[in-house]
Every structure is written in C-alpha cells, then in structure tokens.
Amino acid sequence: MTQQQQHVPHPVESAKPDRGQLIGIGGMWLAKWSLIVVAIAAGAWVLGWVLEELWVIVLPVLLAIVVSTVLWPPTRGMMKRGVPPAAAAALTLVLAFGVGAGIIAGIVPSVVNQAPELADQASQGIQQVQDWLQGPPINLRDEQIDEAVNVVVTKVQESGSVIASGVFTGVSTAGSMLITLALVLVLTFFFIKDGPRFIPWVHVVGGGRAGRHVEAVLVRMWDTLGGFIRTQAVVSFIDALFIGIGLLILGVPLAPVLAILTFIAGFIPIVGAFVAGALAVLVALVANGFTTALIVLALIIAVQQIEGNVLQPVLQSKSMKLHAVVVLLSVTAGGSVFGIVGAFLAVPAAAVAAVLVRYIGEQIDERVADSEPKMSDLDELETVPSSDDDTSDEEPAEDDERS
C-alpha cells in the first residue's frame, strides 16, 4: 500500500497549469471579448444606418416624446378631474401651441424694428475696431486688416452652408418644416391621449419575464426624461429671466429676443449657454460699447455660476445628473451627426441611456448577491465531515484485517 501511494502524483501538482496553458486561457479570453466588442460595434452601426434611413419617421417620434413629457402633467391633471382623454390632450396642445405662437408673434416685430439700427451700429463698431487696430500699440497696416477680414469672411461663407444644413438636418428630409411640425403635433396628441395604455401592451407582448424588465426600464426612462426636460426648462427660464432683466437695464437692443434665445439654448447644456452668451456680448459690444459688453459678460458668467452650483444641484436629482464630460461628448456627437436637432436630443438620449445602464447594473448586482454563499452556509460546510475523511479513516482498518 505504501509503494502504491508513492507512485500516485500529488493532486495539487497535477492541477497546476503550466505557462502555455495560462497564455492559452488569456488568449481565448481576449479573443472572446474581442468578438463580443466587434459584434456590438456591428450592431451599433446597423442601428445607426437604420435610424439614418428612417430619420423621416424617427425625428418626429423623438420630438413628440420630448414634447409629451412636458405636456403630460397638465393632461393627466385634467383626466383626473373627469375630462375625457381626447379633450384633455387637445386642450393641452391648443394652449401650448397658442403660447408658442404668442411668443413668436411678440418677438418678431421687435427684431424687424431694431434690425436696421443694429446693422448700422454693427458697421460703426467694425469701423471703430479697425481704427483701434491701426493705432498703438498694435499698429496694423490696412493690408493686414484686409487680409484678416477676407480670411474671416471666407471661413464664414464656407461654413454657412454647413450651418444652414445642420439647422434643417432631418427636417428637410421630411419634406418641409411644416410637415414635420404637423407630425409632431399629431403624434404628441396620441402619446398624451393613449400613453397609459402603452406600458401594459408592451408587458403583454414581451411576456411575463421580459415584459417585467421592459416595463420597469420604460417607466424609469419616462420619469427621467420628463424630470430632465422640466428641470432644464425651469433652469433655462431662470437664466433667461435674469439675463433679460440685465440686458433691459443696460439698454441692450433685442433684449427680449436674446432672453428667448437664452431659454432655448439652455436645452443644449454647455454649448448652448456659450453660444447664447457670446451672442449677447457681441450685440452689447456693437450697440453699447466695450464697457457694457464687459458688464454683460460678467452678468452671464455670474448667472452660469449660479446655475451650475445652485440651481442644477438643487433641482436635479442624482439619478438624472450626468457628468459634464458625458454631456459635452453627447452634444458634440449629436451635433456632428444630426446637426442642431441632434445637439438638442443628445442630452436626453444620454440620460435615457444612463437609466438603461444603471438598471442592467442593478440586475447584475442582484444576481451576484444571490449567487454568493452566505456565512451560515460556509459554517455548516466546515462543521460537517466529508465522506473522503470517513473513508480514509476506515481504509487502514480494512488493510489490517486483510493482512
């Protein structure tokens, strides 16, 4: 028995992998995950191609969903008071359309009346800047100034078509802006009218297990998107209010128009605030001079600091808060692919995607927690003797009897 035991290899030595096996295991792991990444990238490319081909349909649906998150609370309130769903949805749309049309009708005459004066002041401002550049301490020659102006004009002309196409990306493919607007209004009406029926229908179609997850994710996405849009609307309104009051006090032309542009630009975080603020400073510089422009710049910086450090942390919950890097990259990617419409939809899309990622992480954590052995189970395993130990104790007795 002793001689046989000497020839049996030790279990630890036989299970110990060599260097080649470890390299093979690592190579297989890397190859597997490389294929997974390639498959995900291919799926994302196919999804992007489908969205591009169906952008005529996708764009009105996305815009209608965003508008529905804003109009759903008043519609729901009227439904709770006994108003039929169709009447509540129609009344909400009419009121919202009336408010938007009233705002546009209020700012258009101001723009038309002040545009000639602003153009004259712009030419005078450019002449003053040219005189300042020709004097000390810069002392630029006329040829250098003309060359710089030509470079700027050429750059603006080259980018003008890109900017114009970016403004109407997705809208022109639908035929016209009016057709897209009509589709958005019709889809919004049905979304806020029949929205409560959608989630149960998805649950039934998806089945018991998958439908439960889809329902939970869609409910969270809707709450996050609605909260995000309403919060951004409140923050943008406060920014536009204070900046508009400041521009009116300083006597800057087109102050109501600039305030409304600040409100609209607030839905494109970081980039929108920068563009709207730069436009306000430029108008103040041209119309009122360098000192007023500095005051407007200080006002905009102060309002943006209050927004970033007070309003957003207070109004936005942690579940909707996105890192500034994620917001900036989302706006950049959306704007480069789909123009201004993509920049507007980028942050809501990133917020919705963050909800999906968080939900998947929660499900993974729950499964990991369920699969981990509990301390009580480990204690029971340590106290119960194994069958190998029992047979090892009995084997010497059997050998003694045989001998």
Query: pLDDT band at residue 91, thresholds of 50, 70 and 90?
Result: very high
For residues 88-104, average pLDDT: 86
Of residues 323 and 194, the one with the higher pLDDT is 194
Of residues 146 and 59, the one with the higher pLDDT is 59
> Does residue 397 register a pLDDT over 60?
no
Does residue 137 have a cis bond before it (omega within 30 degrees)? Answer: yes
Q: What pLDDT, on the 0 to 100 scale, is given for residue 46?
A: 94
CA–CA dist 220, 352 (Å, integer)? 8
211 and 205 Cβ atoms separated by less than 8 Å: yes
Q: What pLDDT, on the 0 to 100 scale, is given for residue 29?
A: 92
Angle at 350 between CA 344 and CA 355, to 5 degrees: 140
Query: pLDDT band at residue 261, thresholds of 50, 70 and 90?
Result: confident
Q: Which of 14-23, 106-115, 282-291, 381-390 has the lowest mean pLDDT?
A: 381-390
261 and 234 Cβ atoms separated by less than 8 Å: no
Of residues 128 and 374, the one with the higher pLDDT is 128
242 Cβ contact partners less than 8 Å away, ≥ 6 residues apart = 299, 303
Q: What pLDDT, on the 0 to 100 scale, is given for residue 231?
A: 80
Query: pLDDT band at residue 31, thresholds of 50, 70 and 90?
Result: very high
> Does residue 189 register a pLDDT over 50?
yes
Angle, helices 85-134/271-288, rounded to nearest 10 degrees:
50
Query: pLDDT band at residue 163, thresholds of 50, 70 and 90?
Result: very low
69 Cβ contact partners less than 8 Å away, ≥ 6 residues apart = 222, 225, 226, 229, 230
Query: pLDDT band at residue 122, thresholds of 50, 70 and 90?
Result: low
Q: What pLDDT, on the 0 to 100 scale, is given for residue 351?
A: 84
Nearest to 284 by CA among 79, 118, 134: 118
Q: What pLDDT, on the 0 to 100 scale, is given for residue 39?
A: 95
Q: Which of 105-114, 142-151, 199-208, 378-387 has the lowest mean pLDDT?
A: 378-387
What are the helix and strand counts (H, E) for the chain? 15, 0
353 token code pair: 């995607």
CA–CA dist 197, 179 (Å, integer)? 27
- Three-state SS at 81: coil
Of residues 278 and 396, the one with the higher pLDDT is 278
For residues 172-200, average pLDDT: 78
| Domain residue spans of the chain | 53-372
CA–CA dist 74, 188 (Å, integer)? 13
> Does residue 399 register a pLDDT over 60?
no
Query: pLDDT band at residue 164, thresholds of 50, 70 and 90?
Result: very low
pLDDT tens-digit map of 324-368: 677 778 878 887 777 777 777 888 888 888 888 888 888 888 888
Amino acid letter at 352? V
Q: What pLDDT, on the 0 to 100 scale, is given for residue 167?
A: 46
Which residue carries 């409140």 as its tokens?
234
Amino acid letter at 192? I
Please give the share of the chain, as a percent, with pLDDT higher than 70: 68
pLDDT tens-digit map of 281-327: 888 887 787 888 889 889 988 888 887 667 666 665 554 567 767 77
Nearest to 103 by CA among 252, 256, 312: 256
Which residue carries 């998107």 as its tokens?
225
- Three-state SS at 165: helix
Round the average pLDDT of the chain to a whole number and report it: 75
> Does residue 391 register a pLDDT over 70?
no
> Does residue 398 register a pLDDT over 50?
no
> Does residue 32 register a pLDDT over 90?
yes
Write out 94-134 in H/E/C secondary structure: HHHHHHHHHHHHHHHHHHHHHHHHHHHHHHHHHHHHHHHHH
Amino acid letter at 7? H
